[in-house]
Structure 1
Amino acid sequence: MFRIGLFLATNLAIILLASITLRLLGVGGILADNGVDLDLQGLLAFCAVFGFAGALVSLLISKPMAKFSTRAQVIERPADSEQRWLLETVADLAKAANIGMPQVAIFPAQQANAYATGWNRNNALVAVSQGLLQRFDREQVRAVLAHEIGHVANGDMVTLALVQGVINTFVMFLARLAGFFVDRVLLKNERGLGIGYWVTTIIAEIVLGILASTIVMWFSRQREYRADQAGAQLSSPAAMISALQALQREVNAHVPNQMPDTMTAFGISPGWKKDVRKWFTTHPPLEQRIARLQQL
C-alpha cells in the first residue's frame, strides 16, 4: 500500500509543480492572447492520470507477463538438488536483504541471464535462465541472484514505473499543447479540433517519446550499478566481478539473446550497443560495471 500511495503522491506533486511552472512562464496568457481558451491544469491532470495509470497497470501485471513472455516455470517443489539449492540460496539472500521470499523460476534460454520483477518487494519474482545454470558455477549464480535481489530490495521496479509515469505525463501534455498551438494559433482553426491538432499531436508524441526514453534508459543504467553493488554486498565483490566477467564472455561469444524486448530492462545482461543506440540501452557496458566494482 505504501508504494501505491507513493504513486498517487508523485502524481499530485507533478501536477502541482507543473501548474506553478506554467503560471510562472505565462503559457496560459500567451494562449489566451491568441484566442485559445484552454484549461492547462485540467489538461495536465488528464495526462497525469492516464500517464501514471499506464505505468501502474504495467507494474501490477509485471509478474504474470514476465512468466508468460519468458515461459518461466516457478519452482513450487524442487525436483532435484539444483532447484533445491536455488530456493535455499534465494531464501538466504532475501533474508539478508530484509525482504520477503520471492517466487523462484527457471526460463528456457541458452543465453546466461536472469531477471527480477513485481510491484511488491515482499512478493517479487526472481528467474534465471537454463543457460546460466549450465555454464556458471554456483558462486557466480549466487552473485547473479544477489544482483536481482538487490533490484527488489532497492524497489527498482516501482521507481522505474514512477519515472515512466512522469515521462508519460509530460509527453502527452506537451504533445497536446503543441497540437493546440498549431491548430488554433498557426492555422487559426476555430471549429473544434482540426487536422492540425491531430497530426501535430501524433508527431509530437512520437518525437518526444523517443527523446524522453533516453531519460528512462539513463535511470535504468544507474540502477544496474546500484544492483551490482548490492550483489557484491550480499555475495562478495569477487563473486560479482566473476559473474559479470562470465557474462562479458557470453556477449563476446555472441550467444543469442532470447530475452523478449519487453523484459530487456529487467535482465542482467541484454548486451551493449554502440553508436547512438547506446543512449537507448537499459544496461551500461559490462566493462564499466566491472571497473566500478573493482574500485570498491
Structure 2
Amino acid sequence: MLRIALFVLTNLAIMLVLSVVASIFGLDRWAYAHAGINLTGMLVFCALFGVGGSFISLLMSKTMAKMSVGAQVIASPRNAAEQWLFDTVARHAKNAGIGMPEIAVYDAPEMNAFATGASRNHALVAVSTGLLQGMGRDEVSAVLGHEISHVANGDMVTLALIQGVVNTFVMFLARVLGGIVDNAISGNRDDRGGGYGIGYFVITMVLQTVLGVLATMIVMGFSRWREFRADAGGAKLGGRANMIAALRTLSGDHGDAGLPKALVAFGIAGDGGVARLFTSHPPIAERIAALQEAEPA
C-alpha cells in the first residue's frame, strides 16, 4: 500500500512540476496558440487513462491469469504431490515474509511457472504440469522460491506502476506532437472551426506506435533486472545449486511457448532472443553466471 501511495504522490508531483515548467517557459500558451492544446488538461487526461488502465489490469491479473491458462486452484491438497507443493509454497512464503498465496496448476507440456496479483499478501503462484513432471523436487522448490521472490519484491505492482507512467507519457507526447504537426500541415486551426483534422488522428496513432515501441524497451529493461533479483531470491529460499540446476533444465525447454503474451513477463523461463532490448528475461546463461558469481569464494 505504501508503494502505491508513494507512486501516486510522485506522479502528482511530476504533473505539477511539468505544469509549472510549461507555464514559466510559456510552453502551455505556445501549445494552445499553435495547436489548440491545453497541456495540463492533456496530461491529466493521459494519466487517468495510462495509469488507470495499468491498475485495472493489475487488479484483474489473478482472474485473467487463471482463465487464460485454465489454472486449477488447489484449495485443499488431494494427494501427496499437491501436499508437497502446498507445503513448499507455504514455507517459502513464510520465509519471505508474505501472506500465503493461492496455488494453482495448469496443464501445459512446457516447463514454466508464474506469479501475479495486486499485492504481496494476495498473490497467485501457478506452475505447469510440464514443470512438475520435468524437474526434480529440489529444482521445483527453487523455481517456486523465484516466483515467491517476485511477490515479496513487489515486482507485479512495480511493473504496473512503470507501465502506467510509460503509458501516460506515450499518450501525452503523441497527442502534443500530433497536434503541433497537424497544425503546421493544415494551417490556422480557427479556419477549420477549431477542430482537429483527420491528419491529427493519423499522426497521433503513428507517433503513439513509435513511442510505444521505444517505451517497451524501458519496461522490458526493468523486467530483465527483476529476473536477476528473483533468481537470487530463489537461490536463497530454495538453494543456489538447485536454482542453477533449474535454470539449466529450463535452458533446453522453450518454457514461454504455453503462456499468453500478457503473462510472459511473469514466467520463469523467458526467451532471451535476438531482439535483446525487447525481451522480458535475460538469457539463461547470464542468469546462471550471475548466480555463480554470487557464490561465496
Shared topology, TM-score over 0.5?
yes
**Identical aligned residues as a percent:** 51
| C-alpha separation in 1, matches of 2:177 and 2:66 | 40
Q: Deviations over 1:247-272 (max 9, x none)?
A: 11224xxx781111111011011322
Equivalence for 2:228:
225
Indicate if the aligned counterparts of 1:11 and 1:52 stay in contact, CA closer than 8 A: no
| C-alpha separation in 2, matches of 1:24 and 1:256 | 49
User: Counterpart of 1:134 in structure 2: which amino acid?
Assistant: Q
| C-alpha separation in 2, matches of 1:256 and 1:35 | 48
Indicate if the aligned counterparts of 1:11 and 1:49 stay in contact, CA closer than 8 A: no
| C-alpha separation in 2, matches of 1:36 and 1:176 | 10
User: Counterpart of 2:41 in structure 1: which amino acid?
Assistant: G
Give the SS at the match of 1:226: helix
Q: Deviations over 1:148-178 (max 9, x none)?
A: 0000000000000000000000000001101
Give the TM-score taking structure 1 as reference length. 0.93
Equivalence for 1:89:
88
| C-alpha separation in 1, matches of 2:5 and 2:120 | 15
Indicate if the aligned counterparts of 2:182 and 2:199 stay in contact, CA closer than 8 A: yes
| C-alpha separation in 2, matches of 1:13 and 1:281 | 31
| C-alpha separation in 2, matches of 1:150 and 1:86 | 16
CA RMSD, Structure 1 to Structure 2 (Å): 1.7
Q: Deviations over 1:5-48 (max 9, x none)?
A: 2442233133123324444665335435x544432111111111
| C-alpha separation in 2, matches of 1:115 and 1:21 | 42
Q: How has the CA–CA distance of structure 1 residues 26 and 289 changed in structure 2, closer, same or farther, with 3 Å as cutoff?
A: farther
Indicate if the aligned counterparts of 1:257 and 1:270 stay in contact, CA closer than 8 A: no
Find 2:287's aligned residue among 276, 286, 289.
289
Equivalence for 1:280:
278
Q: How has the CA–CA distance of structure 1 residues 242 and 169 changed in structure 2, closer, same or farther, with 3 Å as cutoff?
A: same
Q: Deviations over 1:213-235 (max 9, x none)?
A: 11111111011011011111112
Q: Deviations over 1:192-212 (max 9, x none)?
A: 111121111111111111111
Equivalence for 2:17:
17
- 1:207 paired with 2:210, answer yes
Which region of structure 1 is more displaced relative to structure 2, 18-27 or 261-270? 18-27
- 1:104 paired with 2:117, answer no
| C-alpha separation in 2, matches of 1:146 and 1:16 | 41
Report the number of matched residues: 290
User: Counterpart of 2:200 in structure 1: which amino acid?
Assistant: Y
Alignment of 1:1-296 (within 5 A): 1-23=1-23, 26-31=26-31, 35-188=34-187, 189-190=189-190, 191=193, 192-251=195-254, 257-274=257-274, 277-296=275-294
User: Counterpart of 1:129 in structure 2: which amino acid?
Assistant: S
Give the SS at the match of 1:250: coil
Indicate if the aligned counterparts of 2:112 and 2:256 stay in contact, CA closer than 8 A: no
| C-alpha separation in 2, matches of 1:100 and 1:224 | 21
Q: What stretches of structure 1 of length at least 5 have no aligned partner?
A: none
Give the TM-score taking structure 2 as reference length. 0.93
User: Counterpart of 1:230 in structure 2: which amino acid?
Assistant: G
| C-alpha separation in 2, matches of 1:154 and 1:249 | 28
Q: Deviations over 1:111-144 (max 9, x none)?
A: 1100000011001000111011001011100000
| C-alpha separation in 1, matches of 2:125 and 2:184 | 52
Q: What stretches of structure 2 of length at least 5 have no aligned partner?
A: none
